[in-house]
Amino acid sequence: MLRLSPAGQYRFVQVEQFDVIFGGGEANVAVSLANYGHDAYFVSKLPKHEIGQSVVNALRRYGVRTDFIARGGDRVGIYYCETGASMRSSKVIYDRAHSAISEADPEDFDFDAIMEGADWFHWSGITPAISDKAAKLTELACQAAKRHGVTVSVDLNFRKKLWTKEKAQSIMRPLMNYVDVCIGNEEDAELCLGFKPDADVEGGQTAAEGYKGIFKAMAKEFGFKYVISTLRESFSATHNGWKAMIYNGSEFYESRRYDIDPIIDRVGGGDSFSGGIIHGLLTKPTQGEALEFAVAASALKHTIPGDFNMVTAEEVEALAGGSANGRVQR
């Protein structure tokens, strides 16, 4: 997608120009994984014109493979993002109607060829939300992944500006039958799947105990191998507490907590967590170590402008290992 943002913390109505940034849910995950040394491919459809090519170039710049991007259609999806500060929230305005991927057809993709030899397929709840066609493509991709023995993960990512909870559940619940690793926060679990944690999240109560019941229920109903939730304490737009929890069907693990202050850019924080947990589950010996990597990676993303998490695995490992003083590295 194309992100258009006022510089710094300016409001939309104050500026006469926007900064151009490329990003979007699954693309952000792909960039993170490429940064960690994985062979990451992005699957989508983009117009043949120069703006579409600019998106392709942005992905290639950070090592993401673009072999499976179909070309055609008229539009790149756009969103406008205003960065908040203190008690003023950030704001997103979508302009995604008639984007190339929202109008793509099954014939645009050979999902069996795409999944052949792959280890992992990741998608987010934003993709099926953008159109019924995109929802069907998501289902076909998941089916192909299962045929080829590929691990499937989802970031539930409910977006109330794209669909209702009723529409979300009618689409998302059947898709969960293809998912091995389910990632989402408390709002996503409730609005996409109908599971509500026993915790007052708005009041800052993010104790892991309140989530254990729904983790078990979700794993039982859908057969997930892992259920994972980020736990965010939002004190202001620029000050959050950040941790996560994972459940593998028998044991729970709660990560260390990070106090992120100041936040530079929250956008992409969840995607950086998804990229981190995929890397962690592929490379770490325990679910606890995988989760600590993911939480540290996402904490770092909050300090970086733009959608992409521009950190190395070594930087994440240093933070996860306790190096959080921010001293200059000489």
Please give the pLDDT value at position 208.
65
Residue 204 has pLDDT above 70, yes or no: no
Give the distance from CA 173 to its chain's centroid. Answer: 18
Task: Provide the residue type at 323 as one letter.
Answer: S
Q: How confident is the model at residue 209 (pLDDT cuts 50, 70, 90)?
A: confident
* Phi, psi for 66 (deg, rounded to 5): -120, 20
What single letter denotes the amino acid at residue 71? R
Mean pLDDT in residue range 294-316: 97
Percent above pLDDT 70 for the chain: 95
Q: 25-44+64-69+110-320 has which fold? A: UDP-N-acetylmuramoyl-L-alanine:D-glutamate ligase (3.40.1190)
pLDDT digits (tens, 9 = 90+) for 92-121: 999 999 999 999 999 999 999 999 999 999
Average per-residue pLDDT for the chain: 94
Phi, psi of 201 (to 5 degrees): -65, -40
Q: Which of 69, 82, 75 is nearest to 13 (CA)?
A: 82
| Residue range 144-191, pLDDT digits in tens | 999 999 999 999 999 999 999 999 999 999 999 999 999 998 889 999
How does residue 88 score in pLDDT terms, banded at 50, 70 and 90? very high
CA distances, 199 to each of 203, 204, 214, 231, 329 (Å): 9, 9, 11, 11, 40
Kindly report the pTM of this predicted structure: 0.94
CA dist., res. 292 & res. 296, Å (int): 6
Q: Does 281 score more than 80 pLDDT?
A: yes
Is the pLDDT at 90 greater than 80, yes or no?
yes
* Distance between CA atoms of residues 246 and 253, nearest Å: 5
pLDDT value of residue 207: 61
Determine what percent of the chain is predicted with pLDDT higher than 90: 91
Range 319-326 average pLDDT: 80
| DSSP-derived secondary structure for 257-274 | PEEE-S-S--TTHHHHHH
Among residues 293, 157, 291, 299, the alpha carbon closest in space to that of 233 is found at 299
Q: Tell me, what's the pLDDT at 311? A: 97
Written as one string, the DSSP assignment of 178-237 is: G-SEEE--HHHIIIII----SS-TTTT---THHHHHHHHHHHHHH--SEEEEEEEEEEET
Q: 140-157: buried (b, 16+ CB within 10 Å) or exposed (e) per residue?
A: ebbebbbebebbbbbbbb
